[in-house]
C-alpha cells in the first residue's frame, strides 16, 4: 500500500514537472566580421511568372554587421537536449514556393519530421533533394498541383538536405537534420533565441550554407537571473 502511494506521488510529481514550462534558454547574436559582401540582384527574367520586382541574392545577408540566415542548434549538453525535449512528433515543415523563392529558405528537421512542398506560383517548379551530393528525389510540381509530402530524410544530425529547382537555378533551400527541437534561424538583426532549456552546459552549433560552421559552449545557470544565457558567434569570409 505504501509503495503504491510512493509510486503515485512520483508519477504525480513527474507529470507536474513535465507540465511546467522550462523558463531557461539561450539568446544570442551572430556577427559578420569584416566588410559585408555585395548582394547582386537575382536575374529572374527567364520566367516572367516569377515576378518583376528586384530581388537580391540571399547568399550572404549582412545588415549593420549582423548576419542573417544562420541555423543555430543545440547539439549536445548536460542534460542531453534530446532528453529534455518532449517526445511528441512535430508536424511537417511547410516549404512554400512563392515568386520563385523558398519560404522558409532554412529550417531544421528532427527525426520523424517530413516536408510538405507547396507551389503557390503560377508556374512550373521541380523539387530536387540532395544529401551528401547524392540526389534523393526529383519531383515535378506544375502550377496548382497538390502539395508534395516528403517523408523524413534518412541521415545523421548535422547532415543538410539541399533542395533546389531545375527550372529556376537560383532557388535553394536547406533542411538541417537535428535530433532535438532546440534551434533557431537568425533574421536580419542576426538575433536568435532558443527557449525551454533547464540549467546545464550546452553546445551550440551555428551553420551558414556558404560560411560554414561555428560551435560555442554555453552555460545556463541556476536561478532566475541566470536562466537566459547569452551567446555571441561570429563568421567571416572563408
Binding footprint of Cu ion on the chain (CB under 5 A) = 125, 165, 167-168
Shortest approach of Cu ion to residue 148 CB, angstroms?
A: 13
- Closer Cβ to Cu ion, 46 or 63, answer by number: 46
Q: Closer to Cu ion by CB, 90 or 167: give it.
A: 167
Q: With respect to Cu ion, which residue has the nearer C-beta, 143 or 201?
A: 143
Task: Specify whether the CB–CB gap between 216 and 196 falls below 8 A.
Answer: no
Q: What is the smallest separation between the CB atom of 100 and Cu ion, expressed in angstroms?
A: 5
Separation between Cα atoms, residue 180 and residue 164, nearest integer Å: 25
- Closest contact distance (angstroms) between CB of 135 and Cu ion is 16
Residues 90, 109: Cα–Cα separation, whole Å = 9
- Per-residue burial over 216-237, b if 16 or more Cβ lie within 10 Å, else e, is bebebeeeeeebbbebebbbee
User: Is 143 or 237 the residue whose CB approaches Cu ion more closely?
Assistant: 143
Closest CB 165 distance from Cu ion, rounded Å: 3
Using CB atoms, what's the residue nearest to Cu ion? Answer: 165
- Name which of 61 and 165 has its Cβ closer to Cu ion: 165
Distance from C-alpha of 223 to C-alpha of 199, rounded to nearest angstrom: 9
Shortest Å, Cβ 170 to Cu ion:
9
Question: What single DSSP character describes residue 22?
Answer: P
Please report the beta strands in 64-103, taking only residues with DSSP state E, as ranges in sequence order.
66-67, 71-78, 93-98, 101-103
Distance, C-alpha 228 to centroid of its chain: 20
Amino acid at each position: 500500500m505504501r509503495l503504491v502511494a510512493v509510486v503515485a506521488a512520483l508519477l504525480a510529481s513527474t507529470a507536474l514537472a513535465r507540465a511546467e514550462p522550462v523558463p531557461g534558454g539561450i539568446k544570442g547574436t551572430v556577427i559578420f566580421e569584416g566588410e559585408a559582401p555585395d548582394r547582386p540582384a537575382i536575374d529572374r527574367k527567364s520566367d516572367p511568372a516569377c515576378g518583376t520586382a528586384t530581388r537580391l541574392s540571399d547568399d550572404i545577408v549582412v545588415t549593420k554587421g549582423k548576419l542573417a540566415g544562420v541555423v543555430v542548434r543545440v547539439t549536445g549538453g548536460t542534460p542531453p537536449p534530446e532528453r529534455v525535449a518532449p517526445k511528441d512528433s512535430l508536424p511537417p515543415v511547410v516549404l512554400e514556393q512563392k515568386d520563385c523563392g523558398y519560404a522558409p529558405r532554412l529550417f531544421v528537421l528532427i527525426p520523424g519530421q517530413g516536408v510538405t512542398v507547396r507551389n503557390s506560383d503560377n508556374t512550373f517548379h521541380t523539387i530536387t533533394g540532395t544529401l551528401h551530393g547524392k540526389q534523393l528525389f526529383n519531383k515535378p510540381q506544375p502550377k496548382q498541383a497538390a502539395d508534395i509530402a516528403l517523408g523524413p530524410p534518412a541521415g545523421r544530425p548535422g547532415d543538410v538536405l539541399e533542395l533546389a529547382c531545375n527550372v529556376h537555378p537560383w532557388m535553394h533551400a536547406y533542411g538541417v537534420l537535428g535530433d532535438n527541437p532546440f534551434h533557431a534561424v537568425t533574421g536580419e538583426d542576426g538575433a536568435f533565441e532558443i527557449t525551454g532549456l533547464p540549467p546545464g552546459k550546452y553546445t551550440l552549433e551555428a551553420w551558414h550554407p556558404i560560411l560554414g560552421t561555428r560551435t560555442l559552449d554555453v552555460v545556463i545557470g541556476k536561478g532566475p537571473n541566470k536562466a537566459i544565457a547569452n551567446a555571441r558567434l561570429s563568421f567571416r569570409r572563408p
